[in-house]
Amino acid sequence: MSRHRHLPALLLTVALAAAGGGAAEAANYIVASEFAGSLQDAVDAAGEKGMVIVDQPYVLTAPLVLPRFFRLMGMGPQGQGVIAYDNDFGAAITFAGPGSTSSIVIENLELGGRYPAASPGTSVGMDLDGIHEVTLRNVTVRGFDVGVRGFWSFYVNVRDCNVSLNQRYNYHLVDNANSWRISGGLSSQSLRAAFFVQSSNNVVIDGVAMESNLFGVYTDTVSTHILNNRFECSPAVPQFCPPDATGVRLGPGAQDVSLIANLYSGLEPLVDESGGGLSYRFDPAAGAYARPETGAEGLRVELTTVGDTLLFDAHGRLRV
């Protein structure tokens, strides 16, 4: 029996019943990609608010363009849902636009580029340009110039993803990539930075293993919160771990950066070029936060609710 006779079972129309009489108001389409001519054909067949299940390997030479409301599902790390991008330029996954709203879910998918590239390239794994309300879950992105790029992209939730082995940056957040939450997973073996954060705010990097990067996190902007991460480098991989490898580097524009309960091994924990941008925050409701004392060995604790300041020396003794 031809497999195409099973197509109706895999192209599903999910009717959304009206609250009143049960009439169908809209339809979402779920498409198994193997029954389409190409992966882009499958996406186009599913349409806006649809979903594609990537159930076999694909090689792309041009970007896969997703609607602004969409779900793209792979088969997990043991499955066959793998997308290879055979191009040194452009983005493997990008989005239709422009528009002011969006909602994207991508999970259980493996996305690979041409690393190392045959020639210097600027390829991007996922380009979230003007895309908001995005969830990436259990996704692997590797082999690009930049793994995941955020540009004017709000409310992005990245969970348990492996974004590693990208030429420049694993994550590049720039120009109002605001309110990103990256939790769990791995971000390793970037030749420059696992996370490069510029002109964005309220970025939280929590519980990520960052191994063998020149910089784990480089931030030159406001309100980057770095907590519960592991930063590690080994001399056994000198191409990724030169002698000046650093866990966190604060650029001149860094302000109100939080470091909480991170672990550092085999590299310089912190290089601070901000001139006072680092702070160890307590709950804002308590009205207190601490920061290294500028130009001195010690700690400044500002009690903002009572308008007072406590200064501690390098040995933890209160200065009077």
For the record, the structure tokens of 229 come out as 């991460």
Q: What is the per-residue pLDDT for 44?
A: 95
Is pLDDT above 70 for 151?
yes
Q: Which of 8-17, 88-97, 193-202 has the lowest mean pLDDT?
A: 8-17
Of 2-11, 12-21, 106-115, 167-176, the one with minimum mean pLDDT is 12-21
User: pLDDT at position 55, please?
Assistant: 86
**Whether pLDDT at 296 is above 80:** no
Query: Is the residue at 297 inside a domain?
Result: yes
How do residues 226-255 score in pLDDT, each as one tens digit?
999 999 998 888 888 999 999 999 999 999
**Residue 318 located in a structural domain:** yes
Question: What rounded mean pLDDT belongs to the chain?
Answer: 85
The predicted model scores a pTM of 0.84
Residue pair 230/262 in contact (Cβ under 8 Å)? The answer is yes
Q: What is the pLDDT of residue 14?
A: 32
Q: Is residue 315 part of a domain?
A: yes
Residue 90, CA distances (Å) to 62, 69, 111 in order: 8, 21, 14
pLDDT at residue number 12: 37
Between these two residues, 203 and 18, which has the higher pLDDT value?
203
Q: Can you say how many angstroms the Cα of residue 73 is from the centroid of all Cα atoms in its chain?
A: 17
pLDDT of residue 252: 95
Cα dist from 94 to 15, 20, 126, 154, whole Å? 28, 38, 6, 16
pLDDT exceeds cutoff 90 at 138 = yes
Residue 311 lies in a domain: yes
Burial grade of 56 (CB within 10 A; 0-12, 13-18, 19 or more): middle
- Residue 19's region, left for phi above 0, alpha for psi from -120 to 50, else beta, is alpha
Region 10-23: mean pLDDT is: 34
**3-class SS at 152?**
coil
* Residues near 75 by beta carbon (within 8 Å), at least 6 away in sequence: 53, 54, 55, 81, 108
Provide the percentage of residues in the chain whose pLDDT is more than 70. Answer: 84
Tell me phi and psi for residue 44, to 5 degrees.
-65, -35
d(CA 172, CA 299): 32
* Sequence letter at residue 262: N
Residue at 177 is within a domain? no
Given this model, what pLDDT does residue 20 score?
35
User: How many domains does the chain divide into?
Assistant: 1
Domain assignment present for 211: no
Flag whether 120 is in a domain.
no
Let me know the angle formed at the C-alpha of 142 by 141 and 145, rounded to the nearest 5 degrees: 110
The string of pLDDT tens digits covering residues 65-108 is 999 999 999 975 556 679 999 999 999 999 998 777 899 999 99
In a domain, 138, yes or no: no
Host domain of residue 289: 282-320
With a CB cutoff of 8 Å and minimum separation 6, the contacts of 262 are 226, 227, 228, 229, 230, 231, 247, 248, 269
* Ranges of H-type helices in 32-142: 39-46
